[in-house]
């Protein structure tokens, strides 16, 4: 098995697992308990919060733990919408967001909110000027993803943030896919909110975080006892939080992504060599996640290519909404012609990928693509 699906979910780093294990069993208490059992748990949560804060370049009290990227995104979109409803009911986002942004926006549309979906160019780039031109007096939030999960294209979030700041509009970025792969420091990105998800950077599934800039208030998504300063109710899952913290610490140390980028480029070069013009790079050539190679096998169906090499694990379209025989929303927004888009396969490498794996994958993918019938 060659795992080239790191954008769907990453293997857990052994260091993360080792950090979590004691909190799955030995340290079992409720962190809210006032007696001795609660103390080490609160310390562990504080440490993890500091680790995440350090990775993001924010202060610890600006980090809220959630059950994952989807919850963080829902929290921001709905939380801002409800908190600022008196100011206005207009939100700007892009047409290539993850369903975890798109669907809360659709929910708000049913409640009478207006959503502007800014398009992208053929490389998947949002034009910040277009974002600026959509701003109205009633705009309360701009949410543009940092890097796209399917093609890896990186958006100019710093520019979008400064546009928002000048207009007095809050800015969120969904960094679930970029965190741990490229720099996601808030002092560089300039955003008011930022989403991360543990299982996208070698941490556990079931936990994520939301950066909320100090002084900005938004409605809680869930109500309950006053956990996490009243922002996110529910007994803290200590082991998951410890795992997220450790993953953040490792991501901060592992800031050199050249290993991953080299493997990705090796994979691309190998496919191009074997298939020539039948392999089309989708997404931006340079402003792209170092680990992501989305290609279209021209004239073929991506799923059929992958069925021809079942040992190579990758996604056709995004994992969260796969299984459909149509252009993904992202590729449609990029206006990728169907003869290329139907053949799209997202190959994503990571920390544990090896050169040998890449070479083996190239051989299998080229063979499978050649054996796949070309339509029309």
Partner 1 sequence: MIYFDNNATTIPLPEVVEVMGACLREDYANPSSVHQFGQSVRHKIECAREQVAALLGATPREVIFTSGGTESINLAIRGALQSNPSRRRIVTTPVEHTATLSVMEQLAATGYEVIRVGVDQEGRIDEAEWADAITEDTALVSLLYANNETGVLFDVPKLATIAEAKGAIVHIDAVQAAGKIPIVVEDWPVHLVSISAHKFHGPKGIGALYVKRRTRVSPQIVGGSQERLLRGGTENVAGIVGMGLASKVALRDMDRVANEVRQMRGAFEASLIGSVPFARVVASTSDRLHTTSNIAFGRLQAEAILILLSEASVCASAGSACSSGSLEPSHVLQAMGIDESLAHGAIRFSFSKFNTPGEIDEVVSLLPDLLSRLTKLSGGAAS
- Interface residues for partner 1 in 197-216 (CB under 8 A)? 197, 199, 204-207
Residue with smaller CB distance to partner 1, 124 or 204: 204
Q: How far apart are the first and last CA of the chain?
A: 32
Q: How many residues bind partner 1 (CB under 8 A)?
A: 71
Residue with smaller CB distance to partner 1, 25 or 137: 25
Shortest separation between residue 362's beta carbon and partner 1, angstroms: 18
Residue 118 CB-density burial (10 A; 0-12 exposed, 13-18 middle, 19+ buried): buried
Shortest separation between residue 203's beta carbon and partner 1, angstroms: 10
Residue with smaller CB distance to partner 1, 19 or 334: 19
Task: Return the structure tokens found at 283.
Answer: 């997404």
Give yes or no for a contact between 207 and 224, defined as CB atoms under 8 angstroms apart. no
Residue with smaller CB distance to partner 1, 71 or 278: 71
| Spatial distance between the Cα atoms of 240 and 188, rounded to a whole number of angstroms | 28
Among 85, 233, 261, 281, binds partner 1 (CB under 8 A): 233
**Residue 56, phi then psi, degrees to nearest 5:** -90, -5
Cβ-based neighbours of 267, under 8 Å, separated by 6 or more: 4, 293, 347, 349, 358, 361, 362
Q: Does 11 bind partner 1 (CB under 8 A)?
A: yes
Question: Which residues within the stretch 107-146 sit at the binding site for partner 1 (CB under 8 A)?
Answer: 107
The tally of CA atoms less than 13 A away on the side-chain side of residue 81 is 25
Question: Which residues within the stretch 67-106 sit at the binding site for partner 1 (CB under 8 A)?
Answer: 67-71, 73-74, 98-100, 103-104, 106
Residue with smaller CB distance to partner 1, 11 or 57: 11
Shortest separation between residue 312's beta carbon and partner 1, angstroms: 9
Task: Return the structure tokens found at 150.
Answer: 């399917």
3-state secondary structure of 292: strand
Inter-CA distances, 310 with 301, 306, 315, Å: 15, 6, 12
Among 44, 58, 142, 239, binds partner 1 (CB under 8 A): 239
Instruction: Please count the helices (runs of H) and the strands (runs of E) in the chain.
Output: 13, 12
Q: Does 3 bind partner 1 (CB under 8 A)?
A: yes
Residue with smaller CB distance to partner 1, 58 or 295: 295
Shortest separation between residue 66's beta carbon and partner 1, angstroms: 8
* Paired sense of beta strands 193-197 and 208-212, if any: antiparallel
Among 217, 235, 326, 354, binds partner 1 (CB under 8 A): 235
Segment contacting partner 1 by CB under 8 A, of 63-71, 283-291, 334-342, 368-376: 63-71
Cβ-based neighbours of 140, under 8 Å, separated by 6 or more: 80, 81, 84, 87, 88, 89, 90, 91, 169, 170
| Spatial distance between the Cα atoms of 94 and 161, rounded to a whole number of angstroms | 14
Shortest separation between residue 206's beta carbon and partner 1, angstroms: 3
Q: Which residue has the tokens 């006032």?
A: 34
| Spatial distance between the Cα atoms of 376 and 374, rounded to a whole number of angstroms | 7
Q: Which residue has the tokens 């093609």?
A: 151
Give yes or no for a contact between 242 and 19, defined as CB atoms under 8 angstroms apart. yes
Shortest separation between residue 131's beta carbon and partner 1, angstroms: 23
Shortest separation between residue 144's beta carbon and partner 1, angstroms: 17
Ramachandran sector of residue 327 (left: φ over 0; alpha: ψ -120 to 50; beta: rest): beta
Residue with smaller CB distance to partner 1, 27 or 57: 27
Sketch the per residue contact string, 213 through 232, with partner 1: x for CB under 8 A, - otherwise: --------xxxxxxx-----
Residues labelled as active-site residues: 320
Question: Which residues within the stretch 330-369 sit at the binding site for partner 1 (CB under 8 A)?
Answer: none
Question: Which residues within the stretch 31-50 sit at the binding site for partner 1 (CB under 8 A)?
Answer: 32-38
Among 119, 158, 168, 234, binds partner 1 (CB under 8 A): 234
Question: Which residues within the stretch 252-311 sit at the binding site for partner 1 (CB under 8 A)?
Answer: 303, 306, 310
């Amino acid at each position: 098995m060659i795992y080239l699906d790191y954008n769907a979910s990453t293997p857990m780093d052994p260091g993360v697992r080792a950090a979590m294990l004691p909190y799955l069993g030995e340290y079992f208490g409720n962190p809210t308990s006032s007696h001795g059992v609660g103390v080490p748990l609160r310390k562990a949560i504080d440490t993890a919060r500091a680790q995440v804060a350090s990775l993001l370049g924010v202060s610890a009290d600006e980090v809220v733990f959630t059950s994952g990227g989807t919850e963080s995104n829902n929290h921001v979109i709905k939380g801002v919408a409800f908190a600022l409803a008196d100011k206005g009911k207009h939100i700007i986002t892009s047409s290539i967001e993850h369903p975890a942004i798109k669907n809360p926006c659709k929910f708000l549309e049913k409640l009478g909110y207006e959503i502007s979906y800014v398009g992208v160019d053929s490389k998947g780039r949002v034009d910040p000027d277009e974002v600026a031109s959509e701003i109205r007096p009633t705009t309360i939030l701009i949410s543009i993803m940092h890097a796209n999960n399917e093609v890896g294209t990186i958006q100019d979030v710093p520019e979008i943030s400064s546009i928002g700041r000048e207009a007095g509009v809050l800015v969120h970025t969904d960094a679930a896919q970029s965190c741990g792969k490229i720099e996601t420091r808030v002092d560089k990105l300039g955003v008011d909110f930022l989403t991360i998800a543990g299982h996208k950077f070698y941490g556990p599934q079931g936990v994520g975080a939301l950066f909320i800039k100090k002084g900005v208030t938004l409605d809680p998504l869930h109500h309950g006892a006053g956990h996490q300063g009243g922002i996110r109710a529910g007994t803290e899952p200590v082991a998951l939080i410890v795992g997220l913290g450790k993953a953040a610490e490792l991501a901060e140390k592992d800031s050199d992504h050249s290993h991953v980028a080299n493997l990705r480029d090796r994979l691309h070069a190998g496919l191009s060599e074997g298939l020539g013009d039948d392999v089309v790079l989708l997404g931006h050539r340079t402003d792209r996640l170092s680990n992501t190679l989305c290609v279209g096998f021209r004239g073929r169906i991506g799923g059929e290519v992958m069925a021809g090499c079942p040992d190579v694990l990758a996604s056709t379209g995004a994992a969260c909404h796969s299984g459909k025989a149509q252009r993904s929303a992202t590729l449609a927004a990029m206006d990728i012609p169907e003869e290329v888009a139907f053949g799209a396969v997202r190959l994503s490498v990571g920390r544990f990928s090896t050169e040998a794996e890449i070479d083996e994958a190239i051989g299998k993918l080229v063979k499978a693509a050649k054996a796949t019938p070309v339509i029309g």
